[in-house]
Amino acid sequence: MEKKAAGFIIFRKISDNFEYLLLQASYGTHHWTPPKGHVEPGESEMEAALRETKEEAGFEKDDLKIYKNFQRTLRYTANGTRKTVVYWLADLYKNTPVTLSSEHQAYKWGILNEASKLCHFKDFEELLKDCEEFLKKDYNKYEF
């Protein structure tokens, strides 16, 4: 059975750099990922991404500029279960502090190399590179 999940790759612009938010799980291998979670029955992927981001990082929809023109899907197997995760790119344009849930024990903001080193998943590293290229070219051309 396949599980569907959704989330945001949240970034902030600091000087000429883009920093990406990763949360460290408080269970298992303590892996680092952006805020994301399972899509509940009757919920859209966007609704799930917004709910999970509020639960896991404390951000409201109004804290973010969501780039609806940047949506990517990752497919992988975790613990024998097929998983599909839809991500949108989102700018934390307000200076809202991260508020972690019990599902996470730490968070870090990192530029592309730092974030890539933390995530340890090749497909996600490629996704971060894709985000960086998009932002360098289209940062001011968001559709939200």
Q: How confident is the model at residue 121 (pLDDT cuts 50, 70, 90)?
A: confident
Say how far apart CA 19 and CA 112 lie, in whole Å.
7
* pLDDT score of 2: 85
* pLDDT score of 28: 72
Identify whether 144 is part of a domain. no
Identify whether 74 is part of a domain. yes
Identify whether 143 is part of a domain. no
pLDDT reading at 144 higher than 60: no
Identify whether 71 is part of a domain. yes
Identify whether 31 is part of a domain. yes
* pLDDT score of 138: 75
| The model's pTM | 0.92
- The 10s digit of each residue's pLDDT in 27-77 is 877 889 999 999 999 999 999 999 999 999 999 999 999 999 999 999 998
Number of domains in the chain: 1
| 14: containing domain | 3-138
- The 10s digit of each residue's pLDDT in 77-92 is 888 899 999 999 999 9
Average pLDDT of span 118-140: 89
The b/e string for 73-97 (b: 16+ C-beta within 10 A; e otherwise) is: ebeeeeeeeeeebbbbbbbbeeeee
**CATH at 92:** 3.90.79.10
